Structure 1
């Protein structure tokens, strides 16, 4: 798809409208409940005991601004139709998880203080942390699945350089990149075991309410399926297309050696400069694809030579 669209409608709804509606809901609910709330409500707990209090509407305006600036700020990139699709999806999920976490937590803290005379006795609604995070991730993934890649895709005007590798075209070529199941299990344990210890020391389960959905979100972003076929190159994550490059726009593919931290400053989906992206999950061979629009995508895969040869051979046949 080639388009000059600048705003993705789904991104505008989920990335801009929903955070603003959540912020507005906090203000409206607080104003409606104010007659039933104490003059000052508990706004912070130390363990299970409130240790800070504030005027309900003052707290509501503070939370509304945080939701709009922090949650909405993360989500806003989802509305930019020409931005990299995978990055837009990730930021939307993360931003809505933060948005719903803050909104649900604040509304829950008000709920437990309705019609009470002494807010110092109000319990901390730990359940709201897990509920807000899970709802935010679910809404975020729904919105992410509706985002579309509207970037411009001018067709390639040349065939691949003769020096680039060629090979047999036994399609499709599919490779799983990122963390395997054993590594995923180890990473999950490294995160969850310390959290369980903290819960036992605190005598409260609420840290798990954040840790479990957060762990799921992070680990889900570390496994990808790369596919090369007659259409081009596609990358899928959690069953959805994360990014794709049509064969008609690719001007060449090569093989290089790359190191995630030394060359890209990190692991996973990376951006080194505008239009240069990397899906780097290990040290070793990497497929590098260049398009007519100036995009360059690097993917670490043990099948880089095979993929590059097939892509260039297919591209040769366009003439």
Structure 2
């Protein structure tokens, strides 16, 4: 059975239409308010004083280009249904945050110049920057939660090879992977201290509003929950299922030894060639799930042997003996 499709509808809406709508909003508001704006806008501020200027139209087009190329360039990845689901989600959140930041900054810039004859007198508030990042991040998370894995799915009636491990089916088997609570707290604490220092230097606290969603995204991308149950194998990230394979897709589950940087070139959710994915967060044993569609998922966990044995036993129980 195949659920393959080229574009994810939710990805198209949130990853393509939303940035395009934001860019169009910039151009429309520039035209609507043009009679109330000076010919040039203050585009750079030092210590709260305007010291850089550009024409209103060129500033508007600069914002449009940043929204489309950076915000839309990142979030548009979410529309590609065959790309890795977790990557699509993270790119959508990043792109939406950039889009929200730029749109809010544009409105903040416009309101600072309304009815001014001299743009040097503009006073830009940093509040819209913080609000824009937060709202953009929320929209990105909402869109990410609606994305689905539309990869091709194939089932098999063959039992896993007899040489592969079997074990008791004591389900569910649930384990965590990635950053632990202690490491997460330390990293967030260091990041918060650095951000507070930068805020004091800048004389403004808006950076804290940027730090919060960025930190949550980074921490979320480095924490996983791995579940093996009657349905198969699933890997959760940021509270959402990032990868999932059914027992009916299993060709065989095995155990191997993995060193993240040596074998995968890094730590976290990795890809090594088309359809070869890894959730590699530590050196040691790893579960290897080989699917009928040719994909392969490697998950580092101390319970790799237990998971592999249960998965192969589940596959045996669901398939006729004469296919062994």
- What TM-score, normalized by structure 2, do the two folds share? 0.94
Aligned counterparts of 2:215 and 2:47: Cα–Cα separation in 1: 23
Tell me if structure 1 keeps the 8 A contact 2:177–2:223: yes
Per the alignment, residue 241 of structure 1 pairs with 241
Per the alignment, residue 250 of structure 2 pairs with 250
- Cα distance, 1:230 vs. partner? 0.8
Per the alignment, residue 79 of structure 1 pairs with 79
1:261-289 CA-to-partner distances (Å, cap 9, x unmatched) read 23222222112211111112222221111
Per the alignment, residue 97 of structure 1 pairs with 97
Matches within 5 A, 1:48-59: 48-59=48-59
Per the alignment, residue 135 of structure 2 pairs with 135
Aligned counterparts of 2:267 and 2:4: Cα–Cα separation in 1: 31
Corresponding pairs, count: 319
Per the alignment, residue 148 of structure 2 pairs with 148
Per the alignment, residue 31 of structure 1 pairs with 31
Tell me if structure 2 keeps the 8 A contact 1:11–1:79: yes
1:94-123 CA-to-partner distances (Å, cap 9, x unmatched) read 111111111211221111111122222322
Q: Which runs of 5+ in 1 are unaligned?
A: none
Aligned counterparts of 1:174 and 1:195: Cα–Cα separation in 2: 35
**16-25 or 150-159: bigger deviation:** 150-159
Aligned counterparts of 1:124 and 1:256: Cα–Cα separation in 2: 57
Tell me if structure 2 keeps the 8 A contact 1:105–1:125: no
- Cα distance, 1:157 vs. partner? 4.7
- What TM-score, normalized by structure 1, do the two folds share? 0.95
Aligned counterparts of 2:272 and 2:124: Cα–Cα separation in 1: 43
Aligned counterparts of 2:305 and 2:289: Cα–Cα separation in 1: 12
Aligned counterparts of 2:44 and 2:157: Cα–Cα separation in 1: 61
1:112-154 CA-to-partner distances (Å, cap 9, x unmatched) read 1111222223223211221111111111111111111111111
Per the alignment, residue 307 of structure 2 pairs with 307
Tell me if structure 1 keeps the 8 A contact 2:74–2:91: yes
Per the alignment, residue 171 of structure 1 pairs with 171
**32-41 or 116-125: bigger deviation:** 116-125
